Amino acid sequence: MDGYAFTLAGAELLALPSGALYWPAQALLCVSDLHLGKAERVARRALSPLPPYETQDTLTRLEEALALTGAETVVCLGDSFDDDAAARALPPKDRLWIATLQAGRRWIWIEGNHDPGPVDLGGEHLAELSLGPLTLRHIAESGAQGEVSGHYHPKAGLRGRWRPAFLLDAARLILPAFGTYTGGLRSDASVLADLMGPQAVAILTGEVARPIPMPR
Amino acid sequence: MLQTEAAPPWSGGGGAYAIPEVLEQIRRHRITLIFHNTRAQAEIFFHTLWMANDEGLPIGIHHGSLDRQQRERVEKAMVQGRLRAVVCTGSLDLGIDWGDVDLVIQVGAPKNVKRLVQRIGRANHRYNAPSKALLVPANRFEVVECVAALEAVKDNDLDGDPRGPGPRDVLCQQILIAACSGPIDPDALYSEVTSAGPYADLTRPDYDACLEFVATGGYTLRSYDQWQRLKQRPDGQWQLRDPRAAQLIRMNIGTIQDSDTLKVRMKRGGGRALGEVEEGFAASLTPGDTFLIGGRIVRYEGLRELTVEVSRDPGRKPKVAVFSGTKFATSTQLSHRILRMFQQDSWPELPAATAEWLALQREVSRLPQPGRLLVESFPHDGRQHLVAYGFAGRNAMQTLGLLLTKRMEEMGLAPLGFVATDYATLIWGLDAVSDPGPLFDRTALREGLEGWLAGNAVMKRTFRASATIAGLINRVTPQARKSGRQATFSSDILYDTLHRYDPDHLLMQVTREEAMRGLVDFGRIEEMLDRISGIDHLALPRVTPLAAPLFLEVGKVPVEGEGRARLEEAEAERLMQEAGLA
């Protein structure tokens, strides 16, 4: 499997080019910030009628990641839905699709700032998850160790091109947003630069997962 | 044409070489307007002019990227006669009574004959005084273009393209705005729209498709109809579902597309606004970099909530702000005149420096001919370069660049990028091209166009413009300002999504039409292929005189592919090694 292999707090992990994280020892796949139902929420707020295909696209890529890894546990690291109403408004076809993906797997929804409430879809709903040496939560906490989080949609640039990226240092990993309709925050933004240690690495997503020193 | 002591440079667009003569003209006239084609050029010129202005003549600068207050100050000073000259762009064309202006200087080539005549005509609005204007070609190629344009004016040989049908993205905006001011009757609005010239031939199905787009988004997948934008009332009229949307829609009215810009402010001293720079330029800055804005050099301090913070920094050499203004393509007719001029044995009508430049090109390579396509290849700076002198205008030459690099990618030639001007396309890559002939095969180019149209930067740029005009993307939203960049995602994602799941969507059709008409301009590539009977390929040891200016062109387009992947891999490895992380 192509990806960038690294160790965080003793756990051997793999950053996939798609922006998903795989933990082979636990057969666990982690994705963050799916923002399912974004187009619906934007339309509901009368902002604009965005093409309503982002849920389909995001789930297609999630399905591919599951097929690739054969993961037995899936952790969606928060902001899985653009808001709670967007989760409720998911069309039956997409609900069924999610149920199919969940079949035979442990599935955990971590709560995010966009989707704090439990969803009426299968799977567990947790504020955070501790597993072995790692803690999986939506928003990074200062001073945490062995923490895997999302929320910031980090992007990093190489040769002038910025794209979604994992940010990694000795204490924590921040995942890029996996959802189709998501923008990004550059790694040189002060909140990210302050959070990440001086030796931090950004792992670019795209064709290959490519590590570079984190631009700051 | 302004006579200057110094010869125009080999390249560049600033016209700085002509500063002494321009100053002399300012002295001799009451008010001089100095027009530039782009904002960046106006900035550089103003800065240089100010440095040379030993007498302290009152001179101002005016362009669309400057803060409104600053612009208004200049306009007021001009009206009151307190200024002797204003360095400006097209922004000064509008809304100002400039009766006292007695000289217009146009820096840079006028690109087409009609525009030149119009600019000169605007020079003097008094009915009883003749317009007086001087041309300052910015570089040696523009000298040729200016002379050709002046001869065309003398021959009363005006160019110009017929106008196409009214664009449908504009119609969508019209429908949306109409709905903001009250319920709309679809039949009445159709009659009204078709009473306007450009839409006289608009069919009812095309109109209905636009109405459908405005009302529901017009997607094949109808997943959130309860939230559609317009609702049909029992009486058949359409109205906004949520009246509060009117404010947002009105905030986004307009069809003139500017690239994304960020405000520039002083970090200290009350955070005074200086103007705007393009987001892409801001992204290329690192703290400590300096650039020009409003005629002064400032130091980049950082980016704060969509504002570029700067501090005063006199005296250092600035990294120049890049604002890409509207790029008009040199007209077919003017291009042909230039090609014919190239065939002369000598050029007594041209200034000596330019004539020598052409002679040198003829000596080390060859001058392009109307009936042949000249292609040069040479190594430079560790990369292999290929130049095609197609003379098809900037837009078509850009399309040619996209098509050629795509073909090169398929042939494993690892192209890295290209840049296009009105007369040539320059491509650079990792491997040399030994036989360019097959690259220009008409059938292959046309097939390439079909396949390529889908996934390229020009289409994405056109889509962005059309989607903004049609009201799918809001350029201004109070929400986006509040939450910052993280919340917004690029219109490229919308384009990719539609391309994948709804390729026949109205906006995809509009994008295709607009691109073919405007930025793609494939018609002029065909005109070029019709005109040439063959390709002359010269493999040369170094950059040629005619190719040199291309290296300084802005608007370089990167090619995503094998070549870039190879470089990225090497760059990432080097950075990791340097940081001691690998």
Nearest CA to B265 among B275, B256, B257?
B275
What's residue B487's pLDDT?
A: 47
Name residue A161's beta-bridge partners.
Answer: A158
Q: Which of B211, B248, B486, B491 is best to mutate for the A interface (most A CBs within 10 A)? A: B486
Confidence of residue A18 (pLDDT cuts 50, 70, 90): very high
What's residue B566's pLDDT?
A: 80
Domains of chain A by residue range: 4-213
DSSP character string of B160-194: -PPP-PPPHHHHHHHHHHHHHTS-B-HHHHHHHHH
d(CA B353, CA A174): 59
Q: Would you state the structure tokens that stand for residue A156, as one six-digit string? A: 């990093």
Q: How many angstroms separate the CA of residue A160 from the nearest CA in chain B?
A: 7
The reply to whether residue B500 touches residue A213, judged by beta carbons under 8 angstroms, is no
Q: Would you state the structure tokens that stand for residue B236, as one six-digit string? A: 């058949």
Name residue B386's beta-bridge partners.
Answer: B377, B427
What's the topology of domain B16-154? Rossmann fold (3.40.50)
For B280, name the nearest residue in chain A, comparing CA atoms only: A160
For A92, name the nearest residue in chain B, comparing CA atoms only: B223
Helix/strand/coil (H, E, C) string of B399-437?
A: HHHHHHHHHHHHCCCCEEEEEECCCCEEEEECCCCCCCH
What's residue A160's pLDDT?
A: 67
Average pLDDT over residues A83-102: 94
HSE at residue B262, side-chain half, CA atoms within 13 A, is 24
Q: Touching check for B504 and chain A: CB below 8 Å?
A: no
What's residue B208's pLDDT?
A: 97
Which positions of chain B have pLDDT values less than 50?
A: 95, 323-326, 480-487
DSSP character string of B229-292: SEEE-TTS-EEESSTTHHHHHHHT--------EEEEEESSSS--EEEEEEHHHHHT--TT-EEE
Residues B159/B328, Cβ–Cβ less than 8 Å: no
What CATH number matches the domain at A4-213, 3.40.720, 3.30.1120, 3.30.1330, 3.60.21?
3.60.21
For A155, name the nearest residue in chain B, comparing CA atoms only: B486
Instruction: Give chain B positions within 8 Å (CB) of A204.
Output: 572
Is the torsion defined by CA of B234, B240, B242, B243 positive or negative?
negative
Calculate the average pLDDT of chain A: 94
d(CA B211, CA B198): 18
What's residue B482's pLDDT?
A: 39
How many C-beta atoms surround the C-beta of residue B301 within 10 A?
A: 19
d(CA B144, CA B349): 9
